[in-house]
Chain A
């Protein structure tokens, strides 16, 4: 059997058996939800309902209800879109990239991180959808045969690349997630006794039996999907950055955007994973599976990606001066010292300075501090997108057109609404789906489980 070095910290604490793992994960689904779940669900669904109302109002009235104007014609909508897509990236990074690197600590967190990805991408896709104004025409973004003189979509346009990138990313993530869920749904199906629930999980589990050939195929599919999801996830945020980088707006027209957006996406995604998991491990008593070490690993990813983002900010500033293009230079001077300087410095503080605090081991292993920081990073990354989009637009080439952007209540309501919908979906997931990849966690139990490692160490000494 595969052995693991004794100095590696265990990934499953205490003494667990295979059956304990099943129990720990499936019993919350069988039993009544704790009171806290109902409280959170009520709050989330009220916000979701308000947000849905705002979206419907927006669709009914038109996007004039947003605070957009002639100069700032992209603002909160695209900020929110990029923010949500970015959050989604951590799920794929955890499940695909860490699978390729054979990182076992991914196994306890990949399921919920992928769920987060899917819900975040749904929220992201909402924004371009409603920004179209006439959402019932949304299918026009696809190259469909039509009666407008065979007018096709423009494959030179980054906006169209985005359509393909986001829809591919969403559907592939969904399939990846579901293929991993099938064996775990089968576990639930075989355990439940209530007939209706059993029937539901029986349909969801597609008749999975877990025979040897099926598992061989399962592992092959997981590996190949991870292999193609990895370039996919990098391409998606690169394409999102092309929406800006291929334009000729000072502040947007920079070649650094693709890598800078991708690392920013991973940075914000991991922060959101921390926000969700720190609550979930407590409420659902998953401390034995999502250990302090897991949290620390994720914080290390946050330091790395936060530092890349910091280097990108500074490079951007330097290049804006070094390029000798005065418009480019002004866009950046305006960001740092203009009327939106508060947003710029909020971004700098939240993303660059605060993530460096994780160099201290005490801080990166402190759960409360990590939770606080995860919120700070989420705020910082929202500001990053806001700064890039709004500060580059609000002072364009013609000073007579200079203006400020003021969000309306519809802007705010739609944004809050997506947070509400996201958390509603996530809470439903936590209630009815296996929140850990049971089959994967079981496969590392005897290698990385605490008591098994201790036994192996004792064996070794004698």
Chain B
């Protein structure tokens, strides 16, 4: 039997969540969900775990702090200490108040850009990337559940469609894949 992909189209996020709940409670795996804006509450239904991007940001931030401390120590204390305005730079800890602003800014710089770049890579959204999902108006006003028969052996595409019709679905499209 050829594998099929089923797209169930909804007009409202709440209705889509209804449909997704019905599918999941019957043991059907939802491949993905597409929407024009974030739908709160869909993640636990279709089994999406929390993203770790916050941790990524923290790690980049800490790296930035360390680099800033190390760099400033090297530039102004170790390599070329200067006596500016009678305030000599002989050691780090006596000068540290003056180094806080740059350390902070560099932490933010690394945390923000590190996370942003990771985000783009993880999402596979980079300049010039092709879009795999552009004909279905999910960036306008449609909310779509994608189910693949390949993920759901033991459920025919008709059975899945039948189940979907029990929720306020507006359209069901099937496609060979």
Contact = CB atoms under 8 A, between A and B. Distances in A.
Interface string A140-153: 00010000011111
A151 B80 contact: yes
A33 interface: no
A235 B72 CA distance: 19
Interface string B7-26: 00000101000000000000
Interface string A210-221: 111111111111
Nearest to B56: A224
B126 interface: yes
A19 B141 contact: yes
A403 interface: no
B51 A220 contact: yes
B37 A187 contact: no
B31 to A, nearest CB: 9
B104 A235 contact: yes
B87 A156 contact: yes
B75 A212 contact: no
A154 B85 CA distance: 12
Interface string B84-116: 100101000001001101101110110111011
A212 B42 contact: yes
A18 B36 contact: yes
B125 A439 contact: no
Interface stretch (A58-66, A175-183, A356-364, A387-395): A175-183
B154 interface: no
Contacts of B76: 152, 154-156
Nearest to A188: B139
A239 interface: yes
B131 A209 contact: yes
Contacts of B162: none
A218 B37 CA distance: 10
B35 to A, nearest CB: 6
B100 to A, nearest CB: 9
A219 B38 contact: yes
Contacts of A176: 112
A221 B119 contact: yes
A440 B38 CA distance: 8
Q: What size tier do the contact residues of chain B reach?
A: 35 or more
A443 interface: yes
A29 interface: no
Interface string A423-451: 00000000000000011101100100000
Contact of B105 (A151, A209, A235): A235
A190 interface: yes
Interface string B141-161: 100000000000000000000
A186 B37 CA distance: 12
B108 A232 contact: yes
Contacts of A235: 101, 104-105, 108
A88 to B, nearest CB: 15
B173 interface: no
Contact of A155 (B40, B98, B109, B127): B98
A216 B48 contact: yes
Counting from the closest, the 6 A-B pairs by CB-CB distance are A207-B129, A18-B141, A152-B75, A206-B125, A215-B38, A161-B101
6 contacts: A153-B75, A154-B76, A172-B108, A176-B112, A210-B139, A232-B108
Interface of B: 12, 14, 32-40, 42-43, 46, 48, 50-51, 53-54, 57, 61, 71-72, 75-76, 79-80, 82, 84, 87, 89, 95, 98-99, 101-102, 104-106, 108-109, 111-113, 115-116, 119-120, 122-135, 137-141
Given A212-B42, A218-B38, 20 more contacts: A143-B75, A155-B102, A156-B98, A158-B101, A164-B105, A168-B109, A171-B112, A175-B113, A175-B116, A179-B116, A210-B133, A210-B138, A211-B32, A211-B33, A212-B48, A220-B54, A221-B116, A225-B116, A228-B112, A232-B105
